[in-house]
Chains A and B, each alone.
Chain A
Amino acid sequence: MQEFLASLVSVAFHGLAYGMILYVISVGLSVTMGLMGFVNLAHGVFAMAGGYVMLSAMNSFGVPFPLALAAAFIAVALASMVLERLLYARLYTAGELEQVLFTIGLIFMSVAVARLAYGPLPQPVHLPEYLKGQLHFLGRDFPAYRVFLIVFSVSIVGLLWFGVERTRWGAMVRAAVDFRAMAQAVGINTSRLFALTFALGSGLAALGGALGADIIAIQPTYPFEHLVYFLIVVAVGGLGSLRGPFVAALLIGVADTACKYWVPEFGAFFIFFATIAVLLWRPEGLFGKEAA
């Protein structure tokens, strides 16, 4: 019994850490898909890029961890803004197929670039000393890095939610998600709003990719391999919502960890079954808007 309880706590903890990373990476995807109606399969590219930026900064230039993290966010946010203005923006009114193809093309290109620059193997992660040990509380040991990861993600999520609920930018985003034409009609500069939101979403993905580099290995196949999970978080949670993907990410993080711990022979079955079931029950996702 004692042992079961211990593994229960462990699964919940690791699942929580994984779920938070999934959320930080995917939330930008939810907002851009809900706001711009854009099927962006290449979202994982930004997460991978974030991971590479942080690890290169740390491994090659000896930049301290917090600075490297910030660099990942800023570099990817800026790069994505350029990408959005040059390419994405032209396809906002295009069909789903065009968007899907275009973003698959981006994935192919980024995979190739990553392999050219870094080779096919996962990048080594050297955590700073202060995140290496164990933290002791509630009568148990927890790896410090994962504790940091959870706390840091929670504060990011808190900031994000505050931003969307309380700031002018947030109000505009919410208005534009609900009534795009209306938002344009009342004079909201949607193209600037889109660019900023897209950059923020990509930056968050980069942050998530960098933070989670020790959990989800940074390697060239990253955008292909983990795409399913990012999309599941968004589709199950509901497009354009902040809370939906949060719930979905935590559920998936915990469920996936639990399955792999207790019934490894079933692998990821449960996740895919659950996804299919949810989408059949509510095609617009758990917290999505009902289609009008």
Chain B
Amino acid sequence: MTHAGGYVADSRIRAIEWLPWVLAVICFFAAPTYVPLGSYVLTMIIFALSLDLILGYGGIITLGHSAYFGAGAYAAGIFAARVTGEPLLGLLVGTLAAGLLGLITGLIILRTRGLALLMLTLAITSLCLEVANKATDWTGGADGLGGFKVQPILGLFKFDFLGKTAYLYCLVVLFLCWWLVRRLVYSPFGASLTGVRENNVRMHAVGAPVYQRLVISYTISAAMAGLGGALLTQTTQFVGLKVLGFELSGELMVMLILGGVGRIYGAFVGPLAYLVAQDYLAKQFPEYWYFGIGAMLVLVVMFARGGILGIIDALIARVRSRPS
């Protein structure tokens, strides 16, 4: 069984689960030039975690998760431009805005399933993109929204040129998200989401309020995506229409699939592998990069449905089963 959680799972944190954090701190000191890229990776991990919660656990296939990332990003940007540049308040505003959007849209669209649901997620993102594109007074339209100041965190830590503060800020927020997701996944609530993904019909038959469960998890996921979006806005001090695009949703899906769906750390490995590779390859060979991503996706679907972590699992299993 690859998914975490359930009533027999040991929910204590294993030693290896500290590895990502140790690596993150080592990277901070060892590779200062990569710190801005690192912040972006950390942000996308938050976004990927949020998708994993509804896709990997709830089984909701969405093509429009960027709606919530974008909502959080724009809410934080507009808040910084119009109200105050206080970052923690900005994060809160971004999270709440996306969570509210998630709750409202979730209540509407989660009544459907299959193609209709897929379409509705896509239609909602398209709608949000259109809003951001047309409401130029608020969003800057196609030019994007920038020029706002973000104040020091807690009045103490200024965002510096090298992006060091931003990196640590992202790392702390990610840590909190990881803690939350981990709690959720190992909880009875998380187990019931797995039940919904595995068999919707049976979940109804054991008396589970499936719709309500999905709406709640969708709202949490949307809020977390919005948190990621708000982080991106604050650390780059800019929001553009890209945060709402279908391509971002697609890329996010690719990252999660690459890492491994429904297993928390897939959301860590995927964005890291994807974005680091992109940083090396995409600038030199952008066309080949997209081709490679496409080909990889096709290959993963055909041959390695568990992603990178799935492959590692399989290798470990093979080594162990070899007679010594």
The residue that B253 contacts in the complex, of A104, A268, A275, with Cβ under 8 A, is A104
Residues from chain A with Cβ under 8 Å of B296 in the complex: 105
Residues from chain A with Cβ under 8 Å of B124 in the complex: 272, 276
Question: How many Å lie between the Cα of A112 and that of B247 in the bound state?
Answer: 14
Q: Mark B277-289, 1 if CB is under 8 A from A, else 0.
A: 0000000001111
Taking the closest CB of chain A, its distance from the CB of B146, in whole angstroms, is 23
Once the chains bind, are A87 and B298 in contact (CB under 8 Å)?
Answer: yes
Q: Mark B234-257, 1 if CB is under 8 A from A, else 0.
A: 000000000000110010011001
Once the chains bind, are B118 and A112 in contact (CB under 8 Å)?
Answer: no
Q: Which residue of chain A has its CB nearest to the CB of B135? A: A265
Q: How large is the interface on A (under 10, 10 to 19, 20 to 34, 35 or more residues)?
A: 35 or more
Once the chains bind, are A232 and B134 in contact (CB under 8 Å)?
Answer: no
Q: Which of A58-66, A134-142, A148-156, A223-231 contacts B (4 or more CB under 8 A)?
A: A223-231
Once the chains bind, are A91 and B119 in contact (CB under 8 Å)?
Answer: no
B21 within 8 A of A: no
Q: Which of A93-101, A164-172, A176-184, A195-203 contacts B (4 or more CB under 8 A)?
A: A93-101
Residues from chain A with Cβ under 8 Å of B123 in the complex: 228, 232, 272, 275-276, 279
The residue that B294 contacts in the complex, of A41, A106, A115, with Cβ under 8 A, is A106
Residues from chain A with Cβ under 8 Å of B115 in the complex: 33, 39, 235, 239
Residues from chain A with Cβ under 8 Å of B112 in the complex: 279-280, 283
Q: How many interface contacts (CB-CB < 8 Å) are there between A and B?
A: 132
Question: How many Å lie between the Cα of A110 and that of B290 in the bound state?
Answer: 9
Once the chains bind, are A108 and B291 in contact (CB under 8 Å)?
Answer: yes
B111 within 8 A of A: yes
The residue that B133 contacts in the complex, of A115, A227, A232, A267, with Cβ under 8 A, is A267
B176 within 8 A of A: no
Residues from chain A with Cβ under 8 Å of B298 in the complex: 87, 102, 105-106, 109
The residue that B291 contacts in the complex, of A39, A96, A109, A224, with Cβ under 8 A, is A109
B232 within 8 A of A: no
B142 within 8 A of A: no
Taking the closest CB of chain B, its distance from the CB of A20, in whole angstroms, is 22
B300 within 8 A of A: yes
Within 8 A of A (CB), among B194-227: none
Q: Which residue of chain B has its CB nearest to the CB of A105? A: B297
Taking the closest CB of chain B, its distance from the CB of A163, in whole angstroms, is 25
A269 within 8 A of B: yes
The residue that B127 contacts in the complex, of A104, A113, A115, A272, with Cβ under 8 A, is A272
Question: How many Å lie between the Cα of A41 and that of B122 in the bound state?
Answer: 12
The residue that B126 contacts in the complex, of A41, A228, A280, with Cβ under 8 A, is A228
For B112, B133, B301, the residue with the greatest tally of chain A CB atoms inside 10 Å of its CB is B301
Interface of B: prevailing SS: helix
Once the chains bind, are A39 and B297 in contact (CB under 8 Å)?
Answer: no
Residues from chain B with Cβ under 8 Å of A273 in the complex: 127
The residue that B134 contacts in the complex, of A41, A224, A267, with Cβ under 8 A, is A267
Question: How many Å lie between the Cα of A267 and that of B130 in the bound state?
Answer: 7
Question: How many Å lie between the Cα of A108 and that of B294 in the bound state?
Answer: 5
Question: How many Å lie between the Cα of A228 and that of B294 in the bound state?
Answer: 19
Q: Which residue of chain B has its CB nearest to the CB of A98? A: B301
The residue that B116 contacts in the complex, of A97, A107, A266, A283, with Cβ under 8 A, is A283
Given contacts A87-B298, A96-B61, A115-B287, contact A39 B119 (CB under 8 A): no
Residues from chain B with Cβ under 8 Å of A87 in the complex: 298, 302
Residues from chain B with Cβ under 8 Å of A90 in the complex: 302
A116 within 8 A of B: yes
Residues from chain A with Cβ under 8 Å of B127 in the complex: 269, 272-273, 276
Q: Which residue of chain A has its CB nearest to the CB of B136? A: A265
Taking the closest CB of chain A, its distance from the CB of B130, in whole angstroms, is 5
Q: Which residue of chain A has its CB nearest to the CB of B250? A: A104
For B108, B124, B290, B305, the residue with the greatest tally of chain A CB atoms inside 10 Å of its CB is B290
Q: Mark B47-65, 1 if CB is under 8 A from A, else 0.
A: 0000000010000010100
Interface, chain B (partner A; CB < 8 A): 55, 61, 63, 108-109, 111-116, 118-120, 122-124, 126-127, 130-131, 133-134, 246-247, 250, 253-254, 257, 261, 286-291, 293-298, 300-302, 305
- Additional A-B contacts beyond A112-B294, A272-B130 (19; CB < 8 A): A39-B118, A94-B301, A102-B301, A102-B302, A108-B293, A109-B290, A113-B287, A116-B291, A224-B246, A227-B246, A228-B122, A231-B119, A232-B123, A235-B116, A269-B127, A269-B134, A279-B116, A280-B120, A283-B114
A-B contact pairs, 11 of them (CB 8 A): A91-B301, A96-B118, A105-B296, A105-B298, A108-B250, A109-B290, A109-B294, A228-B123, A235-B115, A275-B119, A279-B119
Interface, chain A (partner B; CB < 8 A): 33, 39, 41, 87, 90-91, 94, 96-98, 100-102, 104-113, 115-116, 224, 227-228, 231-232, 235, 239, 265-269, 272-273, 275-276, 279-280, 283-284
The 3 closest A-B pairs by CB, nearest first: A108-B294, A105-B297, A109-B294
